Amino acid sequence: MVLASVGKTVQLQKKTENIRNICILAHVDHGKTTLADCLISSNGIISSRLAGKLRYLDSRADEQIRGITMKSSAISLHFEKGDQEYLINLIDSPGHVDFSSEVSTAVRLCDGCIIVVDAVEGVCPQTQAVLRQAWLENIRPVLVINKIDRLIVELKFSPQEAYSHLKNILEQVNAVTGALFTSKVLEERAEKETGTQIISDSVPGDQVYDWSAGLEDTDDSHLYFSPDQGNVVFASAIDGWGFGIEPFAKLYSQKIGIKPAVLLKTLWGDYYLNTKAKKIMKGDQSKGKKPLFVQLVLDNIWSLYEAVMKRDKDKIDKIITSLELKIGAREARHVDPRVHLNAICSQWLPISEAVLSMVCNKLPSPLDITAERVEKLMSVGARTFDSLPPETQDLKNAFMKCSSEETAPVIVFVSKMFAVDSKALPHNKPRPLTQEEIAQRRELARQRHAEKLAAIQSQELPEKALCGNAPETTGKTGETKGDEQQLTSQIEVMTLKTVKQEADNKESFIAFARVFSGVVRKGQKIFVLGPKYDPSESLHKLPLGCSAEADLPSVPYMACCILENLYLLMGRELKDLEEVPSGNVLGIGGLHEFVLKSATLSTSPACPPFTPLNFEATPIVRVAIEPKHPSEMPQLVRGMKLLNQADPCVQVLIQETGEHVLVTAGEVHLQRCLDDLKERFAKIQISVSEPIIPFRETITRPPKVDMVNEEIGKQQKVAVIHQTKEDQNKIPEGVQVDSDGLITISTPNKYATLSVRAMPLPEEATRLLEENSDLIRTMDQFNASLNEDKKTHEINQKTLDKIQEFKQKMEQNLQGRKWRNAVDQIWSFGPRKCGPNILLHRFEGYKKSVWQCLDKTTKEVSKYRDFDNSIVSGFQLATLSGPMCEEPLMGVCFIVEKWDISKVEEIMSTKRQQSEECDATEWKQDEDEATCLSRSHITECSSEDKEFKGSSQGSPKSSEKSSKRKGEALLADCYGPFSGQLIATMKEACRYALQAKPQRLMAAMYTCEIMATAEVLGRVYAVLSKREGRVLQEEMKEGTDVFIIKAVLPVAESFGFADEIRKRTSGLASPQLVFSHWEIIPSDPFWVPTTEEEYLHFGEKADSENQARKYMNAVRKRKGLYVDEKIVEHAEKQRTLSRNK
């Protein structure tokens, strides 16, 4: 055991062929961090006695508490094997599925990985996932079967049983690898086939189909794990032992006298030792013999465990002497036999030796990077390597060489940014103060104190003169003088604290990176290439052979920066480095302004950005977060930005509603993010809630059948029984409702009458409107400018064509008798003038349409012109919040069928004559109106807002406004300005028109893609149907047993969905959610049973859950609207408050 110094490490870093970059991957709780502990203890960084208990690399408090790793962290180890010295950059990764993004960041930086499998649990979902990840990144795996002690102590297996169990596990692991291999081969073949098909089409005749699928031709033997290949270690990290079969083969070859090479091949497998013949024979099971592995290896371990556990002193001594070990008396006497066992085993079969030598032998050094991997790393997205510019292709050689020469271009990949407390940085570390410094500080503090006292006293003097509370303060100062010594020391502490706090508040970001080529130096200038950077674009912009030092034109996604600090990552500690040669893992400080999550650093602008990391899990758990104290909003926003940078797999966004939404990979991940926010990044109290779920309101055609599939109207309504379907939206007097839903309503002053009808839009038309909202908006702006007769916005031909196309499509979608001429009659879109609802005008004498911009006509003068804006505004307001739960409308068409303002005209004309007669009266009129307005402003304070909305929206946009103004002024009466009345009336009319039709709620839907294995398919379906989801399709992925299920799921039901599906399927299914569309919820939120059949089927209260009503009431409750719910269900079951008599 050697305590490797930094100097030594730096030396080793230069020998690229002796570097191994590895990571430890496994399912959660299979012993990654414990194994890492054992390996670290071999370097003397932690005590071997604590190995496995300390979990050195789990440096976060919550990691230690929960007992799971949450981030990948690196450490550099030093290992001596024979005459060679190796530097091992070990990265420990989390196993929990929520943190699989951390695994991705770790795998990218490595050349090899150790897959750890629990000997009891075998292959688990995450084991498959990490094997797949390793496979996708083209890194070589080795296997450690861990926790063999559990087979002995917990399961009490005999060696024979343990052997068959281990064999099983090995087969499982190999089966997964095999599946990965076949799927890859099939994919390649499919690609080839599409290529050849084109050729074969042109050459008919030769139609022999090749059934071999190419599997036979491809050799896959090197992929599999097998002890005789030396890529498997059996271990128990907690007890500190582990072995490959090599040392045993060597040992026994001497004892039995069989060649080590033969023994190496036969030690694992169906071989047994024929002791008489001293020969190894095949077929142990058929002959009922013990396999070699059991006889020579497992039996020994079992007997050792038995002896120690039973405290068989003689036997232990015998074993110890025969193994030539030295066990300390303390361990031997320890109460817990495991300690004793650990002491023996870790000397006999040290795990670090076994694992690290396997790593050094079997895993490649950075020099052995395969061409395949390099090409994969360099070709982003769909681009093939060949299509990259030649300069870039040249860089491949630099990759392959991995040389640390001065001339080699520097290429570094940053896979993640992690936050570190500033005080943990080596240059900020508090070092012990020297005696002089302490004295100096004390002197300073004393001076400061004296000054302060003087200041206080000088202040006090006038105070004394003024008020009588002086004695108190002087008493205090006297006191302080008394123990000045104490105070100075206090001040000293305080000043120290403030300095410290300043450092505390800063989180430094360190880039977790690896050098792929060249030498990185402190203070070097380097290009930072973002993930979207394209070398072929920038290369011709930049002068040839330029370097980062020169002044360069700005190129998109490229920045220049100086590497401020380089660190050697030693778990939770960081060591300063001056330079890092190729092939090493390192930390880089000072990049936080340039790198968001990952980036490529290079001295050559030809370097392409590396392919984005493959994330197994995408973030799907959405929550809304808010500060506990509303004034702390800025801290929260800042904290969320930092969190976003620090975590590779988190999404942070602000929604239009003002909500701050955090999207994480799972519940555990969420918890960690929240802890981070609370304690590190934002340092405020936050509250977490379900995000607000949006809905839309719409109407449908009246249904033809009722809830029990009987035709409506055929059977008697049994109103007698209990209840009729009451008109839940009581329409007040003064509103006429026709049987077909035409609403006629007058303004409060009875001057104008409106008739409005609502109709559902066809689905396609709604979709078309939604897709073209931007186009509609530009159209509206253009129309407005046309009406103003000035500064005509120049609209280009392209947009005009688009509008024309949009119009045609609308015409296609709106066909049938009901929609005749509808497109030409479109008056406005809403809400916000670009929404998916339309307003039609179907009355005589009105010509204006939204298609003005197409024929470029200016507005015609008509009698309605003065007030048409009020009608449009009323429509906008009505579509912005519907009657059901004040959510926006969607897919509704309002038709104004009559608009009678003849009375207004009469009055206006007469009044205008009057006003023309004497100009002076106009003044008075205006004044009158002003007073009227101000009065209403004061008295109707409550309705102030509505009113101002009204008048504001109503303020006309026409250029000749003065006449209108006059008109309006003339029309003003006790009900307020006429335009305002018109808006309110129009809004009411729209609402009633809606209520006259069957209303429905629309829910936002996610499309959900789930990968699941065949055995959990049923459970996935159960979870989906419980949450009102619908399966669209189900497909099997070729070459694997994985099914891909596509489903839709209401957003309202998605909270906790990911967690539930994972729990129910033991993690074998992983969903992804993407917002897709709006869908009408078929049930009527106001439905009550009305017919005999319905009554029989659903009962009086219709207790069975009505999904739409549930959603509607939830929204109404949230908004503080009236909810039609009983406060107390059963009157008799309330608590009795009076005395019992």
Whether the CB-CB separation of 300 and 294 falls below 8 Å is answered with no
Rounded to whole angstroms, how far apart are CA atoms 510 and 420? 7
Alpha carbon distances (Å) from 278 to 144, 248, 275: 31, 17, 5
Site for other proteins in 915-934 (CB under 8 A): 922-923, 926-927, 930, 933-934
* Ranges of H-type helices in 515-652: 535-539, 633-646
User: Pick from 67, 475, 658, 703: which binds other proteins (CB under 8 A)?
Assistant: 658
Q: Minimum CB separation from other proteins for residue 1108, in Å?
A: 18
Q: Minimum CB separation from other proteins for residue 532, in Å?
A: 11
Q: Which is nearer to other proteins, 23 or 884 (CB)?
A: 884
Alpha carbon distances (Å) from 285 to 128, 266, 281, 295: 30, 14, 11, 13
User: Pick from 156, 222, 326, 1141: which binds other proteins (CB under 8 A)?
Assistant: 1141
**SS3 at position 934:** helix
User: Pick from 270, 626, 770, 1028: which binds other proteins (CB under 8 A)?
Assistant: 626
Q: Which is nearer to other proteins, 427 or 1141 (CB)?
A: 1141
Burial class (CB in 10 A: 0-12, 13-18, 19+), 467: exposed
Q: Which is nearer to other proteins, 299 or 626 (CB)?
A: 626
Span between the terminal Cα atoms of the chain, in Å: 86
Q: Minimum CB separation from other proteins for residue 1090, in Å?
A: 14
Q: Minimum CB separation from other proteins for residue 581, in Å?
A: 33
Q: Which stretch binds other proteins (CB under 8 A): 283-291, 566-574, 579-587, 622-630?
A: 622-630
Q: Which is nearer to other proteins, 310 or 638 (CB)?
A: 638
Rounded to whole angstroms, how far apart are CA atoms 1075 and 1005? 6
Q: Minimum CB separation from other proteins for residue 1102, in Å?
A: 13
Whether the CB-CB separation of 1086 and 1106 falls below 8 Å is answered with no
Q: Which is nearer to other proteins, 293 or 681 (CB)?
A: 681
Q: Minimum CB separation from other proteins for residue 779, in Å?
A: 17
Whether the CB-CB separation of 685 and 627 falls below 8 Å is answered with yes
Q: Minimum CB separation from other proteins for residue 1, in Å?
A: 47
Site for other proteins in 403-442 (CB under 8 A): none
Site for other proteins in 564-603 (CB under 8 A): 596
The DSSP line for 330-399 is HHHH-SSHHHHHHHHHHHHSBHHHHHHHHHHHHSPPGGG--HHHHHHHHS-TT--GGGS-HHHHHHHHHH
Residue type at position 39 = L
Whether the CB-CB separation of 863 and 807 falls below 8 Å is answered with no
Q: Which is nearer to other proteins, 974 or 1127 (CB)?
A: 1127
Q: Which is nearer to other proteins, 653 or 1032 (CB)?
A: 653
Q: Which is nearer to other proteins, 141 or 954 (CB)?
A: 954
User: Pick from 633, 742, 775, 1017: which binds other proteins (CB under 8 A)?
Assistant: 633
Q: Which is nearer to other proteins, 638 or 898 (CB)?
A: 638
Number of residues near other proteins (by CB under 8 A): 72
Q: Does residue 188 touch other proteins according to CB under 8 A?
A: no
Q: Which is nearer to other proteins, 571 or 950 (CB)?
A: 950
Q: Minimum CB separation from other proteins for residue 951, in Å?
A: 7
Rounded to whole angstroms, how far apart are CA atoms 171 and 628? 53
Exposure class string for 238-262: b at 16+ Cβ within 10 A, else e: bbbbbbbbbebbeebbeeeebebee
Answer positive or negative: Cα dihedral of 118, 121, 126, 129.
positive
Q: Minimum CB separation from other proteins for residue 784, in Å?
A: 10
User: Pick from 628, 750, 924, 935: which binds other proteins (CB under 8 A)?
Assistant: 628
Site for other proteins in 115-134 (CB under 8 A): none
Whether the CB-CB separation of 370 and 138 falls below 8 Å is answered with yes
Q: Partners of 577 in the beta sheet?
A: 566
Q: Minimum CB separation from other proteins for residue 936, in Å?
A: 9
Site for other proteins in 1071-1130 (CB under 8 A): 1117-1122, 1124-1128, 1130
Q: Which two tokens stand for residue 118?
A: 């629990």
Q: Which stretch binds other proteins (CB under 8 A): 100-108, 182-190, 577-585, 635-643?
A: 635-643
Q: Which stretch binds other proteins (CB under 8 A): 615-623, 653-661, 794-802, 1079-1087?
A: 653-661
Site for other proteins in 677-716 (CB under 8 A): 687, 689, 692
Q: Minimum CB separation from other proteins for residue 450, in Å?
A: 41
Strands (E) located in 46-83: 73-81
User: Pick from 267, 395, 969, 1081: which binds other proteins (CB under 8 A)?
Assistant: 969
Rounded to whole angstroms, how far apart are CA atoms 1097 and 1101? 11
User: Pick from 126, 644, 870, 1054: which binds other proteins (CB under 8 A)?
Assistant: 644
Q: Which is nearer to other proteins, 276 or 1135 (CB)?
A: 1135
Site for other proteins in 711-750 (CB under 8 A): 723, 726
**SS3 at position 417:** strand
Q: Does residue 624 touch other proteins according to CB under 8 A?
A: yes
Q: Which is nearer to other proteins, 433 or 941 (CB)?
A: 941
**SS3 at position 529:** strand
Q: Which is nearer to other proteins, 405 or 927 (CB)?
A: 927
The DSSP line for 646-715 is H-TT-EEEE-TTS-EEEEESSHHHHHHHHHHIIIIIS-S-EEEEPPPPPEEEEE-PPPSB-TTSPBTTTS
Q: Which is nearer to other proteins, 226 or 618 (CB)?
A: 618
Site for other proteins in 928-967 (CB under 8 A): 930, 933-934, 937, 941-945, 948-949, 951-953, 955, 957, 961-962, 965-966
User: Pick from 634, 703, 734, 1082: which binds other proteins (CB under 8 A)?
Assistant: 634
Residues 6 or more apart from 196 whose CB is under 8 A from it?
none
Q: Minimum CB separation from other proteins for residue 848, in Å?
A: 18
Rounded to whole angstroms, how far apart are CA atoms 261 and 273? 15
Q: Minimum CB separation from other proteins for residue 728, in Å?
A: 8
HEC assignment per residue over 562-602: ECCEEEEEECCEEEEECEECCCCEEEEECCCCCCCCCEEEE
Rounded to whole angstroms, how far apart are CA atoms 623 and 113? 35
Rg for the chain (alpha carbons), in Å? Answer: 40
Q: Does residue 631 touch other proteins according to CB under 8 A?
A: yes
Whether the CB-CB separation of 869 and 953 falls below 8 Å is answered with yes
Q: Minimum CB separation from other proteins for residue 1086, in Å?
A: 12
Q: Which is nearer to other proteins, 198 or 1128 (CB)?
A: 1128
Q: Which is nearer to other proteins, 794 or 945 (CB)?
A: 945
Whether the CB-CB separation of 693 and 1073 falls below 8 Å is answered with no
Residue type at position 908 = M
Q: Minimum CB separation from other proteins for residue 194, in Å?
A: 36
Q: Minimum CB separation from other proteins for residue 724, in Å?
A: 11
Q: Which two tokens stand for residue 788?
A: 């103003």
Q: Which two tokens stand for residue 1129?
A: 């269900």
Q: Which is nearer to other proteins, 974 or 1137 (CB)?
A: 1137
Q: Minimum CB separation from other proteins for residue 186, in Å?
A: 37
Site for other proteins in 352-391 (CB under 8 A): none
Residues 6 or more apart from 556 whose CB is under 8 A from it?
532, 533, 537, 538
Q: Minimum CB separation from other proteins for residue 857, in Å?
A: 22
Q: Which two tokens stand for residue 1047?
A: 């489903």
Q: Which is nearer to other proteins, 288 or 630 (CB)?
A: 630
